[in-house]
Amino acid sequence: PAFQPGDEVFVKLHSEMDTGRAVIVEPLIQDPEHQFSGRVKLRYHHDQTYCHVRPNRIAKVETKGTMLICFKTESYRKLCRSQLEKQDVAIDIGCSYGKATHVMSQHCDNVLGLDISREAIVSCRRDYPHVRFEVMDCLEYPEQIATVSTGVNKVFLDIGGNRERNALIRLISFVQQNIKPDVIVVKSEALVRSAEEHTRRCQVNPDDDNIPASEKWWRQLQEETVAKINSKLEQRVGETGLRFPLYALKYPRKYLSNGVEICRFHNYSACPTHENRPCDRDHEHCHYCLQPGHSSQQCTAKDPVDLGTTKVSLTEAVSASDDKHQ
């Protein structure tokens, strides 16, 4: 991308230190006779020194409402460095053995690593005791993220290339709708390929970092995801004869206006805690239609099945990222 004076950037260094943050002072020098031809002039924040740097060493620090997608682990870790500031609160979803989370912790004072693997989390806690790690299946139960996301403004996602794209899109949509971070960074081969195909169909320069008509592209992915999820549910309904065939916690969390959560176990199976002690969740309202007086299993509402992915605000600017973006 073309850098302009005032752009906040991060210069790729040979170390993991956080001294690479800077601001562009002068744009690209194109005069071949100039001493610093082919470079841009910037000022480092940590010591206020000036330097001329080649553009391929500079990454733009993205503004609020941006989603960055990348293809490779190397690109993902570079974004972990360039998109964080000390005061940020970040989550690394799919942290595996914590290498990227450790990089993030050197640029951000408050970071949490989440992964489904207990073995990986035990290893993370041993190798990086200064960082908080928790076991959580975010892809299967994205609503769990809300319990640990207070104050989070940067979300990083690396779920692995072999996981279902629909589940990943559902997870990202949940993050956009419920956490509303300033920046989301996603490592996903499937999303990069989808963005590239969309870009080719739009007949624009494929080397441009920005996805053309990005809101249309993302909305289409969400609509396809909802359609596929509903199709699977309809198939399960046909096979089982049950209107709501999923395990109770497969349905999204829903809350009353007073903040009390509607009990999913009561609505879709049986609440185990209610038999022995009072449940702190609501048993009066239907989880499906939100009306009082019956449970979801007794509900006669004819609304289409909604797993929480159709009401996502699509005001985010989305840009694609691969190695060239770094």
Per residue of the chain (326 residues), give pLDDT as tens.
678 888 878 887 766 556 777 888 888 888 888 988 989 898 888 888 888 988 888 877 776 778 888 888 888 988 888 889 889 999 999 999 999 999 999 989 899 999 989 999 999 999 999 999 999 888 777 878 888 888 999 999 998 654 577 788 888 888 888 888 999 999 988 888 888 888 788 776 655 567 767 778 888 888 887 777 666 666 665 655 567 777 787 787 788 878 788 999 999 888 877 556 788 899 999 998 888 999 988 888 765 444 343 222 222 333 333 333 33
Q: Which of 206, 229, 252 is the last residue of a domain?
A: 229
Assess whether 113 and 34 both reside in one domain.
Answer: no
Q: 115 and 254: one domain?
A: no
Residue 107: inside a domain, yes or no? yes
- Going across the sheet that includes 40-44, the strands are 50-53, 40-44, 21-26, 8-11, 58-60
Element (H, E) at 24: strand 21-26
Q: Are 42 and 73 in contact (CB under 8 A)?
A: no
- 74 part of a folded domain: yes
Evaluate whether 185 touches 83 at the Cβ level (below 8 Å): yes
Whether residues 54 and 110 share a domain: the answer is no
From the list 175, 193, 156, 160, the residue with the least C-alpha distance to 79 is 156
| 41 and 185 within one domain | no
235 part of a folded domain = no
| Domain identity same for 85 and 48 | no
Q: In terms of domains, do 205 and 245 share one?
A: no
Which residue blocks in 20-114 are alpha helix, DSSP H?
73-82, 99-105
Residues 183 and 305 in one domain: no
Q: Of 229, 261, 296, which residue constitutes the final position of a domain?
A: 229
Tell whether 79 and 207 lie within a shared domain. yes
Tell me if residue 127 falls in helix, strand or coil: helix
CA-to-CA dists, residue 60 to 24, 29, 79, 83, 193, angstroms: 10, 18, 10, 8, 22
Calpha distance 206→33 (Å, rounded) = 31
Same domain assignment for residues 111 and 169: yes
Write down which residue in 18, 44, 60 finishes a domain. 60
- Domain range enclosing 305: 240-313
- Please give the structure tokens belonging to residue 306: 């909604």
- Considering the domain architecture, whether residues 222 and 115 belong to the same structural domain is answered as yes
